[in-house]
Structure 1
């Protein structure tokens, strides 16, 4: 196997096909033109806010009650995103507030401008809003439902559309929400959106701070947390979950309820390139059955639930690195030397609301180039892990500025 060529091919091909429908970007470009024309014709704040509320209500009603076709979802999301971006521009962020990104001790902090596009991850947003709706209904007998949403970004897309729906339908006044983000621009834009949607009465806190410094003076009833990229990498999801879990009890709800990562052996060319040749996006329903057949399941790497997060076994390596112990897997005896180690993530948000592999940017499979199964690389790297059939691998989750999985021989 020539790992370098395979890695280069994977990077070039996966950059072309993602879970986000390219039509959404095209529609956004057109909406910018439309909004420019609207601004020149001086649309009033009242008209702009009304269009935003109507669009959010229509989208959320469909998410909760209907099973739309993909094309219908694209149209709904495109329209709502257009109005969200109109609110975003009203916040009048500086260039620094919009474009600054950082690597901090818990991982990547995305720029606010980039974060505005995550709303278009249709099946991720659908699953979380449905899950949040069910979780809130699960707590309907409580006097107050405290919801915390860290790393919420400028739109808080996994909750704010639902809160606007609840407000417009006047169906729940028990909700108190804490929204936290480290980016000043995100909080500034979100404050504008809260004002535009008229949902201020539901907001308990709107805090610009490091989530690791957040200490609520109440029990968290529902925690909505999604701060990761594919393979639970790069961002601070597990840092935040471990910190906030101390403020949750057995009857608290973590959304997502469960994240499972499984290791597979697969052929990168077919997995990341060939099976998508005739597609303009990825989705679990569009997978090629032949490609599925090439995969060999190696084993479960980790399962994350609220209980597992609280009970996790950890290894400390100095002050800056902590490892969370995952599971042990065995390299199959019939694996050959032409397959790469791939990690597949599936997410259960709540009850039956799931995000399967390829449905979202956060469930795209991730290639582990350092694990060389039954071959010696022609261009060795310092972190190569040479393993053969029958060997055991334990996965650790690395908690540092570049979070992700670290496989070691067991």
Structure 2
């Protein structure tokens, strides 16, 4: 049963809001069907040279000073199709493709779902550009190998491997790299090994590990940590647990990508935020946010900031049985808001990959605002749930982050 402040028609009932361009989704499905047909007929798949060509085209477009969305879609379509052919050619057993589960730190995605993340254009763009700037910055400082670690990287490691392929083809940097790719899924490891080989990369300098990130203990410090293991609102996956674990292995001058994650709490009318705002749009992006609807939001402020400095200062509250809470910030619910009973609490994460590359609201699936329907402001739900939190104007909300198999923020009355 719906709570009284839910919209009469949710976005999900109309269509699924996505930051992925719909043409890429259609091409993805078309490519899968085509490759299945070719596999059944025993036809040959695309060569390594074709994959490298498409990969270099993607990176060249991403690194350009300006590019249109249409240009990005075009190059990503070719690259994605080549990667999917590689994935299909492996013919992984069903259990290695479809198996997803929840472990002690959060959701482990099925390989079949993880392969599509390469089409999250603006997430890939921000990380590739940010990593390119880091590698340019450290060039010439030393000839010692840089240790780059990418945990929970998925089957294609899309935030790192495309740039490595481009660098290899264009000899952009001379400083050697030691790469460690980590994923817990056996199927992902098999795809990664084939991808690295097909991209023409030096396998002697790339270590691919199939293991829980929480068990990884590098023999040398981590110079560059590329990590994105979360869903919207910094929820569901093990990003925070991974960060806490890997922090002890960071070099003193390590680079963290993203450099900072900021989570904001805001109040909004869901009908306006999720339905009215996107009626005329085929996809989501921060540039499409309706300014009038943005102005209707009530910002409660930042509830959490994650960077190298705050990572070392986290206030941990152990609750036993491996369940910990991280203390976050406190906000105040405003008084005398006329339509408050119609509003819901949203948690919105924004990723600063570096000072210039930002993944903003709605740019990616990981930055879609997350609705917390447990917080009921100035109304009592007709069908209450055990975790409902009844709040009124003037109350203070204190947030904690749950480190467990269902990670995410827990609002409480202060």
TM-score by length of 2: 0.94
| TM-superposition CA deviations, 1:228-277 (whole Å, max 9, x none) | 00001100000101100111134111111110011111000110111101
- Whole-angstrom CA distance in 2 between matches of 1:202 and 1:21: 36
Change (3 A) 1:7 1:154: farther
**In the alignment, what sits opposite 1:229?**
231
Choose 108-117 or 288-297, whichever is displaced more: 288-297
Does the 8 A contact of 2:6 with 2:342 survive in 1?
no
Residue 253 of structure 2 is aligned to residue 251 of structure 1 = yes
Distance apart, 1:326 and its partner CA: 0.5
Structure 2 distance, partners of 1:329, 1:246, is 31
Q: How does 1:276-287 map to 2 (within 5 A)?
A: 276-287=278-289
Q: Distance in 1 between matches of 2:306 and 2:13?
A: 30
Q: Distance in 2 between matches of 1:170 and 1:13?
A: 49
Choose 334-343 or 311-320, whichever is displaced more: 334-343
Indicate how the Cα distance of structure 1 residues 332 and 170 shifts in structure 2: closer, same or farther if over 3 A, else same: same
Q: Counterpart of 2:185? A: 183
For residues 12 and 60 of structure 2, the distance between their equivalents in structure 1, rounded to whole angstroms, comes to 38
Change (3 A) 1:157 1:291: same
Q: Give 1:56's aligned residue.
A: 55
* Alpha-carbon distance in structure 2 between the residues aligned to 1:345 and 1:208: 29
1:291 and 2:299 aligned: no
State which drifts further: 19-28 or 120-129.
Answer: 19-28
Q: CA deviation at 1:374?
A: 1.5
Q: CA deviation at 1:78?
A: 0.9
| 1:389 Cα offset (Å) | 1.2
1:295-314 Cα offsets, whole Å, 9 max, x none, are 01111110000121121001
- Does structure 2 conserve the Cα–Cα contact (< 8 Å) formed by 1:392 and 1:409? yes
How far apart in 2 are the matches of 1:166 and 1:333? 55
Q: 2:137 matched to 1:138?
A: yes
Matched, 1:368 2:367: no
Change (3 A) 1:8 1:94: farther
The equivalent residue for 1:81 is 80
Q: 1:36 to 1:12 in 2, by over 3 A?
A: closer
Which piece of structure 1 moves more, 130-139 or 75-84? 130-139
| 2:151 is aligned with 1:150 | yes
Q: Is the 8 A contact 2:400 2:411 kept in 1?
A: yes
1:191 Cα deviation after fit: 0.1
Q: CA deviation at 1:186?
A: 0.2
Paired residues of 1:77 and 1:122 also in contact (CA < 8 A): yes
- For residues 4 and 206 of structure 1, do their structure 2 counterparts lie closer, same or farther at Cα, with a shift above 3 Å needed? farther
Structure 1 residues 7 and 106: alpha-carbon distance in aligned structure 2, compared to 1, 3 A threshold: farther
1:115-166 Cα offsets, whole Å, 9 max, x none, are 0001111100100111111112222213211100000110000000000001
Does the 8 Å CA contact 1:177/1:202 hold for their aligned counterparts?
no
2:119 paired residue number: 120
Residue 362 of structure 2 is matched in structure 1 by 358
Matching residue within 385, 400, 405 for 1:396: 400
Aligned twin of 2:388: 384
Aligned pairs, number: 408
Residues 331-371 of structure 1 deviation map (CA, whole Å, 9 limit, x = unaligned): 11233322111111111001210000000000000111111
Instruction: Give the Cα separation in 2 of the matches to 1:347 and 1:244.
Output: 19
Deviations 1:268-291 (A, max 9, x none): 011011110111111010111121
Deviations 1:44-80 (A, max 9, x none): 7xx6111100000011011112422112211111110
Classify the secondary structure of the residue corresponding to 2:96.
Answer: helix
Runs of 4+ in 1 over 3 A off after TM superposition: 7-11, 32-44, 201-204
> Does residue 109 of the first structure (1) align with residue 108 of the second (2)?
yes
Structure 2 CA distance, aligned partners of 1:28 and 1:342? 31
8 A contact 1:230–1:362 mirrored in 2: yes
Match of 1:198 in 2: 200
Question: Is 1:344–2:352 an aligned residue pair?
Answer: no
TM-score in terms of structure 1 length: 0.95
C-alpha contact 1:13 1:273 (8 A) present in aligned 2: no
Contact kept? 2:224, 2:255, Cα under 8 Å: yes
User: Are positions 1:90 and 2:92 aligned together?
Assistant: no
Instruction: Supply the distance in 2 between the matched residues of 1:289 and 1:36 (Cα, whole angstroms).
Output: 44
Equivalent pair of 1:187/1:207 in contact (CA under 8 Å):
yes
- Superposition CA RMSD, Å: 1.9
Q: Is contact 1:7–1:369 with CA below 8 Å preserved after alignment?
A: no
* Change over 3 Å in CA distance of 1:165–1:8 after alignment to 2: farther
Name whichever structure is richer in helix by fraction.
Answer: 1
